[in-house]
Structure 1
């Protein structure tokens, strides 16, 4: 069944006591639209069944659901109908079908991801120096390799060794954050907000980890995003080429917000990152969001 820009294949495992109980549950409803499922079942012990969609008897077209309806369905894909002692579990594989415009935007973003940080490239060194100036405008950087970098949360005196995990795009993300949201950037860099732990997370290294986390979450290393979260992000990217950089800023600010809420310390950094990822996925799936700036956590960047 083609649903919006996705193609779904369903496998339905049913433990049913009566077909009548489920005859009205396996439906997607929309005005002037009826999508029924023909379900094979038996009176024998439950086995894996297949369910195939068929056209409505009132329509000669393939059933097409709205994007919002699709997101509602995906969120409820493993909903447990435990009434009357019955259980249902839906498992499906979906294939993302992107538009030419979205494919171009994704390709440009992937091109950025493929660029490794190279100390032999003058532009890369200048970008790194620019990050220092934006971070500590009152302090001069003595050399490109310096103990001063540790003040920003790099692991050593040469930040290039840390960029191996995130590539040049992780430096671009930090630069974008510093330029677009300087107040939030400085708050996180200098740990100026909230009751802080004795063992805080290192700012710069956390930034690289966030870049890597977003790439994994959105499935950006594949030809087409393997999840509806990634497909939704492509819609944001097609209307704003800076969507990934903005999402990075949201994620960084949200991570710090979660850090403070959980009263976390350095050893709990991975736990905070997992919590941040789950929250981002939920917000991306919120209905009626057209732009990346519509995400609820975007407001954290604007708070003073």
Structure 2
């Protein structure tokens, strides 16, 4: 698929804030015009294939040896990655409800399955169907973002900053997409990192156990900044993600950076 061919559910933006009840989804009940702009299928249902960006560090790159500390940190992170979201587990349901409370503290959620979830940028009334590509860690990432940087979280959720397009990216589903992109970029599913970027990140992780969650927050904010600077709309989402990935890779490799907090784009986040 080329850079213009993203197939995700677009969110139509009517005004500067988040407009409740104005989320469009591609379905048999949608109008033909909505179907044309929303994409032919939900990209999460295809394993996030639309935004699995090919990095500059291919499989031919040599692997890097890890210190015992780095290996332990990687294994803990991989254990988190291995947990699928399961709506039958009470703790998973509670985590999802907590996300709602953080996103919309003024509005009561009427059920774990509800049309209200579309207000946050999920594809349907049951968010559990959107976790196939990201797993439970993608929900943990969103929760960390909401708790650690509530202002930035709300700005992105409600699209409050910048001159935005008419058709906006769906916030929650884009968040899952970012989790998946970072796992790919850093090569976290491998026993050892296959790139300097991945190896450098593991050094950060050995210093700060929340390095992945923190990098997620930076990536989300940076993606939105790229979105605005490119004057992007739904068809450019994949291009924006590629640009975001390249910027993250460059910043991780900046000389003298010893942790995630030293990355230039960390300054974009606000509490």
Q: What's the TM-score, normalizing by structure 2?
A: 0.77
Cα distance between partner residues in 1 of 2:194 and 2:88 = 36
Aligned-residue offset at 1:291: 1.0
Q: Which of the numbers 97, 107, 113 marks the counterpart of 1:145?
A: 113
Question: Residue by residue, what CA displacement relative to the aligned partner does 1:198-253 show, whole Å, maximum 9, x if unpaired?
Answer: 00000001000000000000000000111000000000000000000000000000
1:298 and 2:246 are equivalent in the alignment: no
Alignment of 1:179-198 (within 5 A): 179-198=147-166
Show the counterpart of 2:254: 286
1:171 and 2:139 are equivalent in the alignment: yes
Is the Cα contact below 8 Å between 2:84 and 2:136 reproduced in 1? Answer: yes
| Stretches of 4+ aligned residues off by more than 2 angstroms | 92-95
Aligned-residue offset at 1:95: 2.5
1:252 and 2:244 are equivalent in the alignment: no
RMSD: 1.4
Larger helix fraction of residues: 2
Q: Which of the numbers 99, 102, 116 marks the counterpart of 1:134?
A: 102
1:210 and 2:178 are equivalent in the alignment: yes
Show the counterpart of 1:102: 70
Show the counterpart of 2:40: none
Cα distance between partner residues in 1 of 2:61 and 2:124 = 44
Is the Cα contact below 8 Å between 2:73 and 2:206 reproduced in 1? Answer: yes
Q: Which has the larger radius of gyration?
A: 1
Q: Secondary structure at the match of 1:234?
A: helix
Is the Cα contact below 8 Å between 2:61 and 2:195 reproduced in 1? Answer: no
Cα distance between partner residues in 1 of 2:83 and 2:75 = 13
| Structure 1 unaligned spans of 5+ | 1-74, 76-91
| Structure 2 unaligned spans of 5+ | 1-55
1:156 and 2:124 are equivalent in the alignment: yes
Show the counterpart of 1:222: 190
Show the counterpart of 1:243: 211
Larger strand fraction of residues: 1
Q: Which of the numbers 234, 237, 245 marks the counterpart of 1:277?
A: 245
Show the counterpart of 2:231: 263
Question: Residue by residue, what CA displacement relative to the aligned partner does 1:50-99 show, whole Å, maximum 9, x if unpaired?
Answer: xxxxxxxxxxxxxxxxxxxxxxxxx9xxxxxxxxxxxxxxxx84320100
Q: Secondary structure at the match of 1:258?
A: helix
Alignment of 1:48-87 (within 5 A): none
> How many residues matched?
214
Is the Cα contact below 8 Å between 2:83 and 2:136 reproduced in 1? Answer: yes
Is the Cα contact below 8 Å between 2:197 and 2:249 reproduced in 1? Answer: yes
Cα distance between partner residues in 2 of 1:93 and 1:212 = 21
Cα distance between partner residues in 2 of 1:267 and 1:146 = 28
More relative contact order, 1 or 2 (CA 8 Å, 6+ apart) = 2
Cα distance between partner residues in 2 of 1:208 and 1:270 = 14
Question: Residue by residue, what CA displacement relative to the aligned partner does 1:23-66 show, whole Å, maximum 9, x if unpaired?
Answer: xxxxxxxxxxxxxxxxxxxxxxxxxxxxxxxxxxxxxxxxxxxx
